[in-house]
């Protein structure tokens, strides 16, 4: 039920109740006090000369006694009544019989008709307020943002220099089409933005419209798809019809894979989506050269799009919007940190180095979480401590200090994380340790996080085997210190990560001589749909087991050799709960830790501290894998 219809029934009920209340109150105030007499009592009062006047109206008798009391009674047919009243000197009057019709007797029969008329009235009002949507089911749901309202420019987009450079051609063409037409060039009709979620594809499309100063139509791919066949195609026609009236303009289709998926070829399977896609293809082919309409679409599922949609003449230019690299993260952080007051100890370059694999949306969320944390602590500026805490919260979840752990469970967790740290420190090829903690976060009881020195764009055999060894360090330390009877289920995520990594080394990356240069990845298919024999599957299992066994033995040797450092790190974790990478390095080198600094009494930074970290170097974005974390 719509809100207008619901409001109509509510106000109708209130109106009727109000009228009823007023009518009842009026009757009670104006009506005199009348005593109801029985007929026998009335005759007794007449015989006793106690009745002064009587009014006859059919069988209804009303009157007044000599004491001034008003009365009423109902009389049967009695021929002797009038002579009796005249004989007793009663002032007698008679009125004709009239049928009195009350307000409710008129209103109640008309009430259904009034409700129906009101329902029809509000239905038409609702259709008019929704742009006659009920009568135009095939109208497009695209939102039009005029050029005056578009305030997003390329300056608001950071970390995607190559994508901005490709899209700059669109801006130049919309501003000066003759510049390209003079040499016979034609601007591509469609630009497809491809990249992981949160990398800024929608923001780039808005920036193009803001830079060019043209109308901007925005719609999601799922808005075209309906249950009724033909509705989506009608909406596509309506969208491009509106765009032609506002040419030059930009049409932005977000998540186009919802409507542009590869057609199956099975007629009757999904005719609505297929017809919608066909209409989209026809409309993109039917652009008039005199009409400047640019279609920009975004997706993170390029592999599922129909090939007819990707051919030249439609979406003939693909622009990759990757996860930002180190310099890209610096520029993105500088954009978001301009909006919050910063403490002097904030170093954007260090923060960018500690957030590999973060997308633009992740970095924006990190800045927002740090601002909320600083506000809860009563600070006037965001410091590096709040940013680090926000980073850990985004990656690992919030701390669960309310979780009660026994002393034995704490010791096992501390030695488990110490095992990860020892293997990570002494194994060549591993990333430097960033932090180790036994404070529960999310579903983990503790963790050791490692961060690469530089953005990693490739995985080597040395790094992969070292990462597997680090994953195994926790379970090996538990078994070495407490015995096989005391090991727990906390290494389940480590076992899963190590197994998946070893299997990918064998099936995808060709790092096994026994399997060779053969892709045996299952992909999204089931085991039954694999494209290799049972013999090959047996070789794969043997190779995965060989890699895991070799790494397990190497990690055991490392922990056995450095057992003293393992115990020292575990003791420090039990004492301080959290250790930095530098503190772990000191313990591994046999040095004492410096006294622990109490940050609870930190003085709030004045609000007037300026943000001086906005100017950073620019660089080429690269694909960046996420950092390694070992969770218990």
Tell me which residue of 257, 144, 254, 165 sits closest to 208, measured CA to CA.
165
Task: Measure the CA dihedral 429/431/437/443, to 10°.
Answer: -90
Q: Is 417 a catalytic residue?
A: yes
Helix, strand, coil abundance in the chain, percent, nearest 5 = 50, 10, 40
DSSP for 45-78, written as a single string: HHHTT-EEEEEEETTEEEEEETT--EEEEE----
Structure tokens at 239: 């969208």
d(CA 525, CA 521): 9
Tell me which residue of 402, 477, 471 sits closest to 441, measured CA to CA.
402
Provide the β-strand partners of residue 293: 249
The SS3 assignment for 140 reads coil
Task: Measure the CA dihedral 358/364/365/366, to 10°.
Answer: 70
Task: Measure the CA dihedral 26/27/29/32, to 10°.
Answer: 150
Structure tokens at 193: 């933005």
Contact indicator for 422, 558 with CB cutoff of 8 Å: yes
d(CA 149, CA 408): 62
- Helix H or strand E segment including 13: helix 3-30
> Cβ of 502: how many Cβ atoms within 10 Å?
24
- Helix H or strand E segment including 331: helix 326-337
Q: Which of 211, 417, 583, 629 is catalytic?
A: 417
Contact indicator for 473, 419 with CB cutoff of 8 Å: yes
Q: Where are the alpha helices (DSSP H) in 429-562?
A: 461-482, 492-507, 534-561
Tell me which residue of 471, 479, 531 sits closest to 502, measured CA to CA.
471
Q: In what order do the strands lie in the sheet with 447-450?
A: 578-580, 433-437, 447-450, 628-631
d(CA 430, CA 448): 13
Structure tokens at 573: 């974790």
Residue whose structure tokens are 């004491």: 67
Bridge pairing between strands 317-320 and 447-450: unpaired
**Known catalytic residues?**
417
């Amino acid at each position: 039920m719509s809100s207008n219809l619901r409001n109509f029934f509510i106000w109708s009920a209130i109106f009727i109740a109000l009228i009823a209340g007023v009518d009842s109150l009026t009757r009670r105030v104006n009506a005199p006090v009348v005593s109801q007499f029985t007929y026998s009592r009335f005759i007794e009062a007449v015989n006793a000369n106690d009745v002064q006047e009587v009014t006859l109206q059919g069988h209804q008798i009303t009157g007044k006694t000599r004491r001034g009391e008003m009365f009423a009674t109902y009389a049967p047919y009695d021929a002797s009544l009038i002579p009796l009243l005249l004989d007793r000197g009663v002032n007698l009057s008679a009125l004709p019989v009239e049928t009195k019709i009350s307000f409710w007797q008129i209103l109640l029969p008309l009430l259904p008709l009034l409700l129906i008329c009101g329902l029809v009235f509000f239905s038409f009002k609702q259709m008019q307020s929704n742009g006659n949507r009920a009568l135009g089911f095939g109208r497009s749901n695209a939102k039009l943002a005029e050029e005056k309202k578009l305030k997003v420019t390329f300056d608001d987009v950071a970390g995607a220099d190559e994508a901005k450079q490709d899209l700059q051609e669109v801006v130049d063409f919309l501003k000066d089409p003759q510049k390209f037409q003079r040499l016979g060039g034609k601007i591509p009709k469609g630009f497809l933005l491809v990249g992981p979620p949160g990398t800024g594809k929608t923001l780039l499309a808005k920036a193009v419209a803001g830079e060019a100063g043209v109308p901007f139509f925005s719609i999601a791919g799922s808005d075209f798809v309906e249950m009724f066949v033909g509705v989506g195609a009608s909406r596509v026609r309506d969208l491009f019809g509106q765009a032609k009236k506002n040419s030059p303009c930009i049409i932005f289709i977000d998540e186009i894979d919802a409507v542009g998926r590869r057609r199956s070829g099975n007629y009757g399977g999904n005719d609505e989506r297929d017809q919608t896609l066909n209409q989209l293809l026809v409309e993109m082919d039917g652009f008039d050269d005199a009409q400047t309409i640019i279609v920009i679409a975004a997706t993170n599922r390029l592999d599922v799009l129909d090939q007819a949609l990707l051919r030249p003449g439609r979406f003939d230019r693909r622009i990759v919007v990757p996860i930002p690299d180190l310099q890209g993260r610096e520029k993105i952080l500088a954009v978001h940190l301009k909006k919050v007051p910063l403490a002097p100890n904030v170093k954007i370059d260090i923060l960018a180095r500690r957030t590999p694999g973060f997308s633009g949306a992740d970095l924006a969320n990190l800045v927002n979480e740090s601002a909320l944390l600083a506000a809860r602590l009563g600070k006037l500026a965001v410091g590096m401590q709040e940013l680090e805490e926000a980073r850990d919260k985004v990656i690992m979840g919030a701390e669960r200090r309310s979780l009660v752990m026994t002393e034995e469970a704490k010791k096992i967790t501390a030695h488990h994380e110490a095992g990860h740290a020892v293997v990570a420190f002494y194994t060549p090829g591993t990333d430097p340790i960033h932090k180790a903690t036994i404070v529960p976060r999310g579903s983990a009881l503790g963790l050791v996080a490692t961060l690469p020195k530089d953005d990693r764009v490739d995985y080597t055999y040395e790094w992969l085997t070292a990462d597997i060894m680090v994953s195994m360090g926790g379970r090996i330390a538990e078994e070495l210190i407490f015995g096989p009877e005391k090991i727990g289920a906390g290494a389940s995520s480590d076992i899963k990560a190590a197994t998946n990594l070893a299997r990918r080394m064998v099936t995808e990356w060709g790092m096994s001589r026994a399997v060779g240069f053969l892709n045996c990845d299952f992909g999204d298919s089931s085991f039954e749909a694999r494209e290799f024999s049972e013999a090959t599957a047996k070789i794969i299992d043997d190779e995965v087991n060989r890699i895991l066994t070799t790494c397990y033995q190497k990690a055991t040797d490392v922990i056995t050799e450095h057992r003293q450092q393992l115990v020292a790190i575990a003791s420090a974790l039990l004492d301080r709960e959290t250790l930095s990478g530098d503190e772990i390095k000191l313990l591994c080198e046999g040095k004492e830790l410096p006294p622990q600094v109490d940050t609870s009494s930190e003085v709030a930074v004045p609000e007037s501290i300026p943000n001086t970290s906005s100017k950073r170097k620019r660089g080429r974005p690269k694909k960046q894998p996420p950092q390694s974390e070992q969770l218990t």
